[in-house]
Homo-oligomer: A and B are copies of this chain.
Amino acid sequence: MEGKRKKILIIGGVAAGPKAAARARRCDPGAEITIVEEGSFLSYAGCGMPFYIGGMVEKHEELMATPVGVVRDAAFFRNVKDINVLTGTRAEAIDRENKTVRVTNLATNETYDLPYDKLVLATGSKPVRPPIPGVDLAGVYTLGNLEEARAVRRAVEQGARRVVIIGGGLIGLELADTLGTKAGITIVEMMDHVLPTLLDPELSVLVERVLRGKGVQLFLGSRVERIEGDGNGAVARVVTTAGSFDADLVVVAAGVRPRVELAREAGLELGETGAIKVNEYLQTSDPDIYAGGDCVENIHLISGRPVYTPMGSVANRHGRVIGDNVAGGRDTFPGVLGTAILKVFEMNIGRTGLSESEARRLGYRVESFICPAPDRAHFYPGSKPVIIKLVADASTRKLLGAQILGPGDVNKRLDVMVAALSMGATVEQLATFDLAYAPPFSTALDPLTHAANCLRNKLDGRARSINPLEVKKRLAAGEDFVLLDVRTPAEFNEVRLPYPNVVFIPLGKLRERAKELPKDREIIVFCKVSLRGWEAQTILESLGFTNVSFFEGGIAAWPFELDTSPRRS
Instruction: Please report which residues of chain A, range 351-398, place their CB below 8 angstroms from some CB of chain B when the two chains form the complex.
Output: 352, 374, 377-381
A339 within 8 A of B: yes
Q: Is the CB of B445 within 8 A of A313?
A: yes
A112 within 8 A of B: no
Chain B, Cβ-Cβ closest to A423:
B423
Q: Is the CB of B432 within 8 A of A26?
A: no
Among A87-95, A150-158, A202-210, A330-338, the stretch in contact with B: A330-338
Contact partner of A419 among B70, B380, B416, CB < 8 A? B416
A271 within 8 A of B: no
Among A32-40, A61-69, A223-231, the stretch in contact with B: A61-69
CA distance A436 to B316 in the complex (A): 13
Provided the pairs A174-B438, A314-B434 are in contact, do residues A68 and B420 lie with their beta carbons within 8 angstroms?
Answer: no
Chain B, Cβ-Cβ closest to A15:
B444
Among A119-127, A259-267, A535-543, the stretch in contact with B: A535-543
A27 within 8 A of B: yes
- Chain B residues with Cβ below 8 Å from A423 are 419-420, 423-425, 429
Q: Is the CB of B379 within 8 A of A76?
A: no
Contact partner of A435 among B48, B57, B418, CB < 8 A? B418
Question: What is the size category of the interface that chain A forms with chain B?
Answer: 35 or more
Q: Is the CB of B438 within 8 A of A379?
A: no
Provided the pairs A416-B415, A453-B320 are in contact, do residues A80 and B507 lie with their beta carbons within 8 angstroms?
Answer: yes
Instruction: Please report which residues of chain A, range 81-125, place their CB below 8 angstroms from some CB of chain B when the two chains form the complex.
Output: 81-82
Contact partner of A341 among B76, B314, B436, CB < 8 A? B436
A167 within 8 A of B: no
A488 within 8 A of B: yes
CA distance A211 to B314 in the complex (A): 39
Q: Is the CB of A434 within 8 A of B422?
A: yes
Q: Is the CB of B377 within 8 A of A45?
A: yes
Distance to closest chain B CB from A418 (angstroms): 5
Interface string of A484-512 (1 = CB under 8 A from B): 00011011000000000000000111110
Q: Is the CB of A57 within 8 A of B379?
A: yes
Instruction: Please report which residues of chain A, range 430-444, place their CB below 8 angstroms from some CB of chain B when the two chains form the complex.
Output: 431-442, 444
- Identify the interface centre among A15, A411, A487: most chain B CB within 10 Å of its CB: A411
CA distance A511 to B77 in the complex (A): 12
Interface string of A129-141 (1 = CB under 8 A from B): 0000000000000
Chain B, Cβ-Cβ closest to A59:
B379
A297 within 8 A of B: no
Interface string of A445-464 (1 = CB under 8 A from B): 11001000100010000100
Q: Is the CB of A29 within 8 A of B415?
A: no
A281 within 8 A of B: no
- Chain B residues with Cβ below 8 Å from A343 are 438, 440-441
Provided the pairs A45-B377, A379-B65, A423-B423 are in contact, do residues A352 and B26 lie with their beta carbons within 8 angstroms?
Answer: no
A5 within 8 A of B: no
List 9 A-B pairs, minimum CB-CB distance, nearest first. Answer: A423-B423, A419-B419, A29-B542, A412-B412, A313-B437, A341-B436, A67-B378, A62-B379, A337-B434
New contact pairs (13) apart from A414-B436, A419-B419, CB-CB < 8 Å: A30-B542, A47-B437, A48-B377, A56-B380, A80-B535, A80-B539, A337-B434, A341-B436, A341-B442, A348-B441, A352-B434, A409-B412, A411-B412
Task: Write the residues of chain A forming the contact surface with B, with a CB cutoff of 8 angstroms.
Answer: 15, 25-27, 29-30, 45, 47-48, 51, 56-57, 62-63, 65-70, 76, 79-82, 174, 301, 311-317, 320, 333-343, 348, 350, 352, 374, 377-381, 409, 411-416, 418-420, 422-425, 429, 431-442, 444-446, 449, 453, 457, 462, 487-488, 490-491, 507-511, 528-529, 534-535, 538-539, 541-542
